[in-house]
Amino acid sequence: MDAEDTERLDVVELLLTAECYNAHTALDAHDLPSLIRRHYWDAKARGVPRPITVCEKDVRAIYGTPNVKEVCAKLPFIEYMEFGGQLSLTVMELALRWFIKSGGLKRIERNPSIAYHCERMRVNGTGNISYARARQAVPPLHSERVWIDALVEDVREECGEEAEEMLKLCTISAPDEIPISLEELVLTPQQHEVISKMTAALKNREYLLDIGLYDVGKMLFVGPPGTGKTSTARALSKHLALPFLEVRLSMVTNQYLGETSKNIDRLFELAKRLAPCILFIDEFDFVAKTRTSDEHAAIKRAVNTLLKAIDEISLVRHGVLLIGATNHPQLLDVAAWRRFDEVVMFSLPDEEMRRQILERIASRMRGSFEMGEVARLTEGFSGSDLRLVVREAVLSNLREGRRELTQQSLLSAIQEFSRREGVKTGVLEEVDIA
């Protein structure tokens, strides 16, 4: 299919979507493909108001089509109005038949509005098109930045000055803003198993609610720095299409210890307001540490506030998937461990995992290299360390005017990385690359 064919399908799909959405009032913003939904979103209305009108500028904004008028001129069922550049269908049935015959069926499978019309009106040639499946193929509304921003505005309107205190405690990301996916990560069988469990729990929240099983969806990621705890949490956001709230407990802790408890309450309240979402708490040990008898009373109150907040939040009841992460599990007391139904270990990768990580990092790089040897020479390296090694090799090559990765540049990068780490730790070691 060439560019011109694609442009025609784009224009006709937009017009058909508008026609179906306007005609069937049972449809809402969830039933629009993501690009169309974002373009027509009305923040004040918290949705996409009817009627949707289609103008030349809309086609350009959504698809980047440069020659809309010329595209329309080749399709007899489209009327183009010179004044305002508005587009409309003269005969919808003709447009739909053309769309189906021209390769639009795959698009209908991902367009709930058109799928709903086809299923309801029993349109010929649509085969097994299902509205329910089409809706599942579209990212849910709660995963969109426009929806997250609308909820944030609600928080500001309802909470006033308190809202700003809430919002400054964390970073909020939409799933499509997360740059890494689960498929790009090298995970252990246990990590895959836990992710599978959480995916099933999220899809079956109503069932879990009915049977009274509430204590699901609280995970603790444990392991050394650089082993993928944060990357996995972010990738899970993308996988589950859930907004991602990331907080470091060191930012929640206030110099006035009484404010720390308030900040914890604010953070969990914000998560409930933005649900369904993932609340990722890094540096979990910063507050929830082993409590001793001589600790300051305010610190004890902060720890107790955090533990109580974890008790009271639920994936099943509130739609909040809680993930804590710590590099220092020895600092957590028994009370903190008991709050999590899943403890996920992130160990330093073994040789086979290092090889897989390296191959994925270098998957788009040209050159002659063998990652098995690199994996063998990098015992004790984390996934983050391996990425730095490859980066060092690439940059060294670029400095010398080469764009192909070589085995020697990787081996040199291992030695350079080890030297730098030795300077930082005070332990200088030479890596034997013989």
Each residue of 225-256: pLDDT tens digit?
A: 999 999 999 999 999 999 999 998 877 876 55
Q: What is the mean pLDDT of residues 23-33?
A: 96
- 431 in a structural domain: no
Q: At residue 17, what is the residue type?
A: T
Closest listed residue to residue 332, CA positions, set 296, 263, 284, 292: 284
Q: Are residues 90 and 110 in the same domain?
A: yes
- 432 in a structural domain: no
- 61 in a structural domain: yes
User: At a CB cut-off of 8 Å and minimum separation 6, what does 66 contact?
Assistant: 60
Do residues 344 and 190 touch, judged by C-beta distance below 8 A?
yes
Q: What is the CATH number of the domain that holds 187?
A: 3.40.50.300
Q: At residue 357, what is the residue type?
A: I
pLDDT(257) > 60: no
pLDDT(207) > 90: yes
Q: What is the CATH number of the domain that holds 360?
A: 1.10.8.60
Tokens of 428: 């200088």
User: At a CB cut-off of 8 Å and minimum separation 6, what does 164 contact?
Assistant: 156
Burial class (CB in 10 A: 0-12, 13-18, 19+), 184: middle
In 253-327 the beta strands, taken as DSSP E runs, fall at 277-282, 320-326
In 75-143 the beta strands, taken as DSSP E runs, fall at 78-81, 86-89
- Percent helix, percent strand, percent coil in the chain, to nearest 5: 55, 10, 30
- pLDDT score of 289: 63
Each residue's pLDDT tens digit, 99-153: 999 999 999 999 999 999 999 999 988 888 999 999 999 999 999 999 999 999 9
Closest listed residue to residue 410, CA positions, set 422, 392, 398: 392
Q: What is the mean pLDDT of residues 261-265?
A: 89
Q: What is the mean pLDDT of the chain?
A: 91
Q: Are residues 238 and 281 in the same domain?
A: yes
Q: Are residues 110 and 75 in the same domain?
A: yes
For residue 332, CA distances in Å to 139, 193, 211, 222, 254 come to 37, 24, 32, 11, 20
SS3 (DSSP) at 342: strand
Tokens of 329: 């599990």
Q: What's the rounded Cα separation, in Å, for the pair 271 and 245?
A: 7
Q: Are residues 336 and 364 in the same domain?
A: no
Lowest mean pLDDT, pick from 177-191, 244-258, 310-324, 349-363: 244-258
Question: Looking at 328, 345, 362, which one is the last position of a domain?
Answer: 345
- pLDDT score of 125: 86
pLDDT(184) > 90: yes
- 203 in a structural domain: yes
Domains identified in the chain, total number: 3
Closest listed residue to residue 32, CA positions, set 120, 119, 111, 146: 111
Q: Are residues 180 and 317 in the same domain?
A: yes
User: At a CB cut-off of 8 Å and minimum separation 6, what does 247 contact?
Assistant: 169, 170, 171, 267, 279, 280, 281, 282
- 26 in a structural domain: yes
Q: At residue 189, what is the residue type?
A: P
Q: Are residues 287 and 417 in the same domain?
A: no
- 302 in a structural domain: yes
189-203 and 229-240 helices cross at what angle (nearest 10)? 30
Range of 91-105, 159-173, 326-340 with top mean pLDDT: 91-105
Q: What is the mean pLDDT of residues 295-304?
A: 74
- pLDDT score of 293: 46
Q: Are residues 100 and 219 in the same domain?
A: no
Q: Which domain holds residue 64?
A: 3-138
Confidence of residue 296 (pLDDT cuts 50, 70, 90): low
Q: Are residues 301 and 370 in the same domain?
A: no
Confidence of residue 408 (pLDDT cuts 50, 70, 90): very high
